[in-house]
Amino acid sequence: MAILDKFSELLKNEEKEGIKVRAHHVAITTEGVIPWAENNKKSLDDAYKKCNLIIRNTIRSQIKLKIPILTIYVLPSDMKNLEHFSMKVDSLIELFNELAESEFIQQNHIKISTFGKWYDLPGRVVEPIKKLLDVTKDYDGFFVNFCINYNGQDEIVDACKILAMQAKTEKIGLDAINRDNIKSNIYASDFLPPDLIIKNGLKQKSVGLLLWDSKNSSLYFTKKLWPDFGKDDFEKAVSDFEKQKL
């Protein structure tokens, strides 16, 4: 069964059981690492280690709250031009190696997926990503997606390019370039749209996370910098969302 079909069946079952409000997909940003390091007089290396801890704790909260899908925006595509990019890559290598060996990931059958052009990154991070994807490929208990070298506009453009190429080679007609088929070709094609997007950091503005799928998403803004973002913060955001939807 395809992942999206699995969730469609889940939604139907919940409707039959009278379950009206539940977060099925939560997406979250991870902003504010450099300000946190400066404010706390910590090295960037220490800050990124704390970031990885918060990511692992957020995944634990996902399982605790029984949220099927969690998407975490860990590396925007424009970060490649920043001077601390290499240090960020090193921290991701450490994170992905830890997750590949994690008993928690194995015990909860958490499948890891990636959105973005991660394959264009340095080889030293591409290989740990491949390993993590391979280790978890058969799991279907919960789903964690990492946005890596990601841009929300590029996700839509790439889907349109696929459809345009199919139209050019006459595999599809122009009428087939529609919303349903764009959804079928974006990075997040296998997943339900996010119910809730948690935007952390000092700037209360969109960063284009899951841009195509977020038309009806609830937005939750918190000024917490990512290294300060705790389990309680995540659980409060989800709780507030579910209360507002009652």
| Domains of the chain as residue ranges with CATH | 23-151+192-244 (3.40.1180.10)
> Helix, strand or coil for residue 113?
strand
Q: Do 182 and 13 contact (CB within 8 A), yes or no?
A: no
Angle formed at CA 121 by CA 157 and CA 198, multiple of 5 degrees: 60
* pLDDT of res. 3: 75
* pLDDT of res. 2: 67
Q: How far apart are CA 60 and CA 32, in angstroms?
A: 21
pTM passes above 0.85 = yes
Q: How far apart are CA 102 and CA 89, in angstroms?
A: 20
Phi and psi, residue 221, nearest 5°: -100, 135
* pLDDT of res. 13: 72
- Tally of residues, the chain: 246
Q: Which two tokens stand for residue 95?
A: 């994170």
Instruction: Read off the pLDDT of residues 151-193 as tens digits, 9 standing for 90 and up.
Output: 999 999 999 999 999 998 989 988 999 999 999 999 999 999 9
Residues of the chain with pLDDT under 50: 1
Q: Which two tokens stand for residue 133?
A: 């994807």
Phi and psi, residue 186, nearest 5°: -80, 170
* pLDDT of res. 69: 97
* pLDDT of res. 21: 62
Bridge pairing between strands 69-76 and 25-29 = parallel
Q: Which two tokens stand for residue 49?
A: 């280690």
End-to-end CA distance of the chain: 31
Instruction: Read off the pLDDT of residues 9-30 as tens digits, 9 standing for 90 and up.
Output: 777 677 666 666 689 999 999 9
* pLDDT of res. 116: 98
Q: How far apart are CA 161 and CA 182, in angstroms?
A: 10
Percent of the chain predicted with pLDDT > 70: 94
